Amino acid sequence: MSDVFISYARSTSAQAQQVAEGLRALGYGVWRDDEIPAHRAYSDVIDERLRSAKAVVVVWSSDAARSQWVQSEADRARADEKLVQLTIDGAPLPMPFDRIQCADLAGWTGDFEAPGWRKVAASVADLTGGAGASKAMESTAPRKLSICVLPFANMSGEAEQEYFSDGISEDIITDLSKVGALFVVARNSAFQFKGKHVDLRQIARQLEVSHIMEGSVRKAGSRVRITAQLIDGATGGHTWAERWDRDLTDIFALQDEISQAIVAALKLRLLPEEKQAIERRGTANPDAYELYLMARRDYISGNRGDRRGLETTLRLCRRATEIDPAYARAWALLAAVQTILWFHHGATEEEDGRANADRALALDPALAEAHAVQARHLSEQGRPDEALARIEAALRLDPESYEVNEIAGLISFRQQRLEDAIRHYEKATALSEGDFGAPGMLLTGYTAVGDRQAAMRAAKTTLDRAEKALAQDQSNGTAMGFGVNALALLGEAERARDWIRRALLIDPDNLNMRYNFACAMSAQLRDTEAALDLLDPFFARTTGGFLEHSRIDPDLDDLRDDPRFQAMFANAEARVAAGEAGPAPPDA
């Protein structure tokens, strides 16, 4: 891996390249995000390179100072004590970076004797051990002790049990990540191999790890069987293997046992605080744990438009909190679902989620997902600066959370910070293999910034996931909505129109679906009248939160000067301002 990670805003790519070339000339291995391989997810590689770099050089500019992503990278580097700052335009730095030494490279032409450059070079040398250290790092040799935990195979014979095997895998990754002497590949990098038959040595070389862990889970009634193997990445041979047959009531002790067995097989010694961290669980009740896993599986599918599905998820969360009132993660997920029902579906019989987010934080003040829910509410209340501060706090607490990145993407999108929105939606897309909503938002974001190649890639991912969701449930209107947008961008106009015709017969009152159909008609197929016809019922019944989204959505920009659109939007604004819910759907 490289010695130095370069963080910068896209508008200063040329200056960042100049800094990278200067460091390479000194013998360092340098990495920028223009070197991401085609087969890897953007967010996966960023995270791995950021964590493995010995020094993180942040190229500050006025655009970088406004970039949530650059600030997040800088903050992680600061926390890891490997931050090197330079400015290329003298723009004020955001807090707390304005209190840290920053080299001035404004107008730098590549002169190695320039005072600003000498300051950068000295800091990088101090952090990396000096020039030439990169040569060993740039070899393909794996880190000394490093592991990729592949998603455990579901051997239960029921696809519905997938949530359980995935949950076990994620928990083991989380546990091992608490061991300071062990590098653990992030969940989204490991899960790219889910369901694939690949050579384990090839995975080890690709991810540059010394070991691979694989296993399987078979759950039947109140019993569970787990098998696990630790594989030497260089030889493909078994370092350790074990099988456990236990009652589900022992699932937490079993997870601890597996993690500690891996640590022992690698001849590591757990520090007391690491052992305590591994054994600290969100709940001690296996029934509450399983209900939470079921609810989260539904939530991370990205199906925000199906009220009935959300209400099912809500019931699962409620039951989990009834079984264990101290289960903070279940309270946070409950709050997230209530928030969607409140803002997207105009729910009046449910709480808006704020109280339960507060309850989650009272139980676990460091729970990133609960902070993210609060950020969503601040955003919806028209308090953008507070929302941004709260979501940044959530990202610092858990940059690997799907829930946090998905909400961060939405908040950035609403603030029209499209590059930041894109990065968060990229991360969310990588963190949930079934989510069609996040790649659907990427399609819009990349189209808006003029990156057609990336938009096409997002469209293909969206369509693939939407088709898989529809294979399980042909009435999934939200999947149809995002799928139509993808079809339209990919040039399959007739197929897109056919999906719309069928979907409106199946679920004519799904506002989320109608809205996405209108976006496809406007932004991709340029059919203004069809888009307005689809939006008419949407504006007649939409909530204030969804109305605000439509106010800034670039997919509707071509409609904004149309008198019919303006009249519909104005009527919706007046209705929402008067506190009217709008007419109920015919079957309500």
Strand arrangement of the beta sheet that strand 55-60 belongs to: 30-31, 4-7, 55-60, 83-87, 103-104
The widest CA-to-CA distance across the chain, in whole angstroms, is: 75
Quote the pLDDT of residue 587.
38
Chain length of the chain: 588
Quote the pLDDT of residue 494.
93
The SS3 call for residue 324 is coil
Nearest residue to 172 (alpha-carbon basis) of 256, 229, 239:
256
Would you call 479 exposed, middle or buried from its count of C-beta atoms within 10 A (0-12, 13-18, 19+)? buried
Give the burial string for 60-74 (b: 16+ CB within 10 Å, else e).
bbebbbebbbbbbbb
Q: 418 to each of 42, 303, 450, how far by Cα in Å?
A: 16, 22, 11
Nearest residue to 485 (alpha-carbon basis) of 519, 454, 457:
519
**Beta-carbon contacts of residue 217 (< 8 Å; ≥ 6 apart):** 152, 153, 154, 155, 156, 164, 165, 168, 224, 225, 226
Q: 494 to each of 242, 506, 555, how far by Cα in Å?
A: 54, 19, 20
Q: 586 to each of 477, 539, 541, how far by Cα in Å?
A: 17, 16, 12
Q: Where are the alpha helices (DSSP H) in 300-383?
A: 307-323, 328-345, 354-363, 368-380
Would you call 111 exposed, middle or buried from its count of C-beta atoms within 10 A (0-12, 13-18, 19+)? exposed
Q: How far apart are CA 469 and CA 99, in angstroms?
A: 49
Q: 504 to each of 61, 514, 518, 564, 565, how far by Cα in Å?
A: 48, 8, 12, 22, 21
Quote the pLDDT of residue 135.
40
Q: How far apart are CA 418 and CA 416, in angstroms?
A: 5
Q: What is the pLDDT along the chain (588 residues), one digit of tens a residue?
A: 568 999 988 778 888 888 888 888 777 888 776 555 444 555 666 777 888 888 999 999 988 888 877 888 888 888 888 999 999 888 888 888 877 888 888 878 777 777 888 889 888 888 887 644 444 334 444 556 889 999 999 888 777 778 888 888 988 888 888 888 888 888 878 888 888 777 888 888 878 889 999 999 998 888 889 999 999 988 888 889 999 998 888 888 888 888 888 888 888 887 788 777 777 778 889 899 999 999 998 888 877 777 788 889 999 999 999 999 999 999 999 999 999 988 877 765 568 899 999 999 999 999 999 999 999 999 989 999 999 999 999 999 988 899 999 999 999 999 999 999 999 999 899 888 889 999 999 999 999 988 888 889 999 999 999 999 898 888 888 899 899 999 999 999 999 999 999 989 888 888 888 999 999 999 999 999 999 999 999 999 888 888 888 999 999 999 999 999 999 999 999 998 887 655 444 333
Task: State the CATH class of domain 292-501.
Answer: mainly alpha
Quote the pLDDT of residue 131.
47
**Beta-carbon contacts of residue 99 (< 8 Å; ≥ 6 apart):** none
7 beta partners: 58
Between CA 183 and CA 231, with CA 429 as vertex, the angle to 5 degrees is 35
Sequence spans of domains, the chain: 4-137, 146-281, 292-501
Quote the pLDDT of residue 137.
39
CATH H superfamily, domain 146-281? ABC-type transport auxiliary lipoprotein component (3.40.50.10610)
Q: What is the DSSP letter of 376?
A: H
Nearest residue to 142 (alpha-carbon basis) of 177, 182, 171, 178:
182
- The separation between CA 523 and the C-alpha centre of its own chain, rounded to angstroms, equals 25
Decide if 4-137 and 292-501 have a common fold. Answer: no
Dihedral, CA of residue 287, residue 290, residue 294 and residue 295, to nearest 10: 60
214 beta partners: 229
Quote the pLDDT of residue 130.
63
- Answer yes or no: CATH 3.40.50.720 is held by domain 4-137: no
Q: How far apart are the first and last CA of the chain?
A: 58
Would you call 238 exposed, middle or buried from its count of C-beta atoms within 10 A (0-12, 13-18, 19+)? exposed
Quote the pLDDT of residue 343.
84
